[in-house]
Structure 1
């Protein structure tokens, strides 16, 4: 994203200026058209050139929004200039003007991706026609750039979220990306236990933050946009140009403005980070451009919404494992696992990983499973041949032959035996005729007890353990302990099935069906889990 007032979608009410370079070897025509254009609309800012060489010099010094060029330039042609321009600027609107219509010239111009082709005699009959053509061409170009920018932003957001494993890492990646795209400074603030706003991550000119933000300030008594946005729970956008050097810029409560201008900031935008009416903090950016326009604000909103989703999901995952003391992998002969027949029927290149195992009722268990290297149709066929899988629920697929689904099998399973023993499951992977169940063992359950339970069910010789993390003290966080079994199950399924992702992959009815409960019951348990987690200190770092 480039912080530039000339970028972004152009609505019908858009009044941003349009820089035009008008080129023709006929000085009288150039002078006349310039007056007509500027009279037609004061947003048109016109520069002129009267030769091929002068046009090249002008375009080297300026970055216009549109080029209007005659075909005959004396020391060159408009078509030559178009060819040179397209080599470096394939998107800039280029309007070619000719004295008389010439099909060969028109054909060549189209081949060089000319934006528009206009005859001078048509302009003589309609004096404002050129201005309308310019505005139309620039509007279309800006809209295309905005759509491309929006697509790239969403792709970048997905990459940032995927590559980040903690809130701190995600915040840092987002701030660094925003600075890389042109902002002078970006930071994310979050609420601490006393509801004070404290920096989580920052990038760019941090000297301003050190001067403007003090640890004893609260959102309600500060006029800095970050605090205002948090207090009002709505975006706050400010242009600083009108306050530079004025009494207002140093007035009590607005000293941040003087600090901002001292750091060459000319505009600022602050947007709350929230999801499902839960506020996590605020994203604030500072720009050296005069204003942060509506298109930039829209893209920044995409960032805050996505970060809000990620913060919520990360907080839940962290809370669900908050009492963990050790991570252990239990290895079983795959024939003892209910997904064994499906794994055996799949090609060797396909990997099968289960991220959540949720008791659906007393008789059935739901495995939330991701398979790589297969298709929905192929998986349906192979699952139908398995005598242990009673049904399958598809959640999402992608172009990389990755399928996420819910596999329903009969209870008990190795995972449910471990859950009954008091552990938190992490994931199950079936490969090389081995089922590897990774679990987090809590402080009140020993690994030996888990091995004993599995050995009794599947035979002592079939059970092995591998410690994958050293023992660590339990956190003083009882939020996850307050969840009922069903609330935990609903929350785990929602997280693993992509319910909290953008775009949402599954609705509540589909997930409720997977658990064999009603939509109303599913929603009730999910909301109850939300309230418990976020009123029990999930915002702690």
Structure 2
């Protein structure tokens, strides 16, 4: 159902280091000249034996290896096997004059990236350079996607794992330094006088201590952190090239003021090339700012800036939510598990039809019509065929749409109502999730201040005709379930479009679906879908964590 769009690798701009290996010194010299003449980004070093190549690989990390099959004191296959033990994805091009199918088969079995014959290179002198560029570009693109995925997964985890703003801010800053390669990252918050006070930081924190005076108000400094707050927008500033295209004000010079000279001098002393500052906001309320510093002038493009804005938006949501206030100010959270075994309930019936040890999990339940309800669910331990067969045997389920099957099934289920989750959502009770397995369902909820367990049991019994068994949890520390509860509930339509977008991979790079396709799934216009998605986007990270 989901088709991944084709991606185009960007042209190479950063230098590409190539290790060229062949025991034929004449061929090595000739190819080196051809490669470097073809593309300025190619920086070629050479080795003329297996032993020399091994020695160079111990001290350097090339972006691509081009190696002849016959090396005199070894073979290219042997070197490939050695390289693959350390770097499984490093582009490795095997060059040979043999043309032996056995050599090609052996190379493929050792995960060679590409395989060419010398006779081909003789007739097409630019072929090797083109292949190097293509392979390195594809590898760098995949590495960037992998880093972004890890970054987002880490962010999702820390949003629900931290118990204080300082801890969450520190974990985010550490992740930006360790995973995304920034030299320094820090979170500043506003004090009672609207001055900026550092909350958390990581990396080269000496700059913050030297250049950021706690309590400075946004209008009192041109350091990007304060500009972002005073102008209520993201600021990208290059210290060597004036400003990036996202900023319209000229870079201040040391002559502007003593304050300007101080932070600029400190930034230069740390070797910073680029600074990005993003306001931390939620709705119309500003909480502070996220600032990062890079020593690489090319690190921050539009996509990277948008990613940082997503991080800041997530922090704003966390700082704002009722769950956050509860974590800080309340010592007890009352969590209840309601267990149902009545197979008249759709998830109980579906669980009974699926293979043993299958788990159905949903955190999004939306009334679709007067007689049906939409579940957005993940299913572990079953195949798509298992799911479709089970749905065919479950009368209470009208339809199923499978969105993704990468490790777990993500799907939408339209079922008969009423279901117990409807009562929870309509009353002073906080819905967390429903887990169905082995022919029963556990509905997890957090009680409101004015709600008792008995009221819940009575209400659920009235709605479903089935009396659940309730188990109460009351700890001095918040439970994991309570931590992941969406506190500020979205409107029904916002929940629907947001959770569908998450489950269908809309927020990933590259996107799995566009808004038009998702809108069609919900029988609404693309403009309506986009409007609701944007309104709900501030909650995307926490909602996505709960979905998983």
TM (norm. structure 2) is: 0.65
**Deviation digits for residues 246-291 of structure 1, max 9, x if unmatched?**
967996414223223444x343342647999999876544455xx3
By how many angstroms is 1:146 displaced? 1.1
Superposition pairs of residues 27-426 of structure 1, within 5 angstroms:
77=72, 87-88=82-83, 91=90, 103=98, 136=130, 139-166=133-160, 172-180=170-178, 183=181, 185-189=183-187, 192=190, 199=198, 201-228=200-227, 231=231, 233-234=233-234, 236-238=236-238, 252-263=259-270, 265-270=271-276, 272=278, 284-287=291-294, 291-293=296-298, 297=301, 300-301=304-305, 303-304=307-308, 307=311, 326-335=334-343, 337-389=345-397, 391-394=398-401, 396-411=403-418, 413-426=419-432
Equivalent pair of 1:184/1:205 in contact (CA under 8 Å)? no
Larger radius of gyration between Structure 1 and Structure 2: 1
Residue aligning to 2:449: 443
Residue aligning to 1:537: none
User: How far apart, CA to CA, are the structure 2 residues paired with 1:217 and 1:359?
Assistant: 50
Alpha carbons of 1:110 and 1:274: their partners in 2 closer, same or farther (altered >3 Å)? Answer: farther
Match of 2:264, SS state, is helix
By how many angstroms is 1:349 displaced? 1.8
**Deviation digits for residues 329-387 of structure 1, max 9, x if unmatched?**
22344346343322222222222233133333443333333322223443233223323
Residue aligning to 1:476: none
By how many angstroms is 1:61 displaced? 6.3
Deviates more, 1:133-142 or 1:335-344: 133-142
Equivalent pair of 1:241/1:266 in contact (CA under 8 Å)? no
User: How far apart, CA to CA, are the structure 1 residues paired with 2:527 and 2:282?
Assistant: 17
User: How far apart, CA to CA, are the structure 2 residues paired with 1:32 and 1:527?
Assistant: 56
Deviates more, 1:451-460 or 1:344-353: 451-460
User: How far apart, CA to CA, are the structure 2 residues paired with 1:161 and 1:149?
Assistant: 18
Residue aligning to 1:468: 473
Alpha carbons of 1:181 and 1:153: their partners in 2 closer, same or farther (altered >3 Å)? Answer: closer
User: How far apart, CA to CA, are the structure 2 residues paired with 1:188 and 1:501?
Assistant: 25
In the comparison of the two structures, how many residue pairs are matched? 489
By how many angstroms is 1:156 displaced? 1.5
Equivalent pair of 1:189/1:197 in contact (CA under 8 Å)? no
User: How far apart, CA to CA, are the structure 1 residues paired with 2:298 and 2:457?
Assistant: 61
By how many angstroms is 1:162 displaced? 4.7
By how many angstroms is 1:143 displaced? 1.4
Match of 1:142, SS state, is helix
User: How far apart, CA to CA, are the structure 2 residues paired with 1:472 and 1:517?
Assistant: 42
Equivalent pair of 1:271/1:301 in contact (CA under 8 Å)? no
| 2:491 counterpart of 1:488 | yes
In structure 2, runs of 5+ residues without a counterpart are 1-8, 243-252, 479-485, 541-548
In structure 1, runs of 5+ residues without a counterpart are 1-8, 124-128, 474-478, 534-541
Match of 1:438, SS state, is strand
**Deviation digits for residues 111-154 of structure 1, max 9, x if unmatched?**
777987769x979xxxxx98x67854653453143123123214
User: How far apart, CA to CA, are the structure 2 residues paired with 1:54 and 1:183?
Assistant: 32
Match of 1:400, SS state, is coil
**Deviation digits for residues 384-439 of structure 1, max 9, x if unmatched?**
332323x224262223242332333133x333334444323222233455433222
Equivalent pair of 2:35/2:129 in contact (CA under 8 Å)? no
Alpha carbons of 1:38 and 1:401: their partners in 2 closer, same or farther (altered >3 Å)? Answer: closer
User: How far apart, CA to CA, are the structure 2 residues paired with 1:316 and 1:18?
Assistant: 47
Match of 1:139, SS state, is helix
Equivalent pair of 2:66/2:94 in contact (CA under 8 Å)? yes
TM (norm. structure 1) is: 0.66
User: How far apart, CA to CA, are the structure 2 residues paired with 1:327 and 1:406?
Assistant: 26
User: How far apart, CA to CA, are the structure 1 residues paired with 2:35 and 2:528?
Assistant: 65
Equivalent pair of 2:68/2:76 in contact (CA under 8 Å)? no
**Deviation digits for residues 181-200 of structure 1, max 9, x if unmatched?**
58463325366588766656
**Deviation digits for residues 210-265 of structure 1, max 9, x if unmatched?**
332233234454333444566484562535699xxx967996414223223444x3
Match of 1:259, SS state, is helix
User: How far apart, CA to CA, are the structure 1 residues paired with 2:68 and 2:389?
Assistant: 65
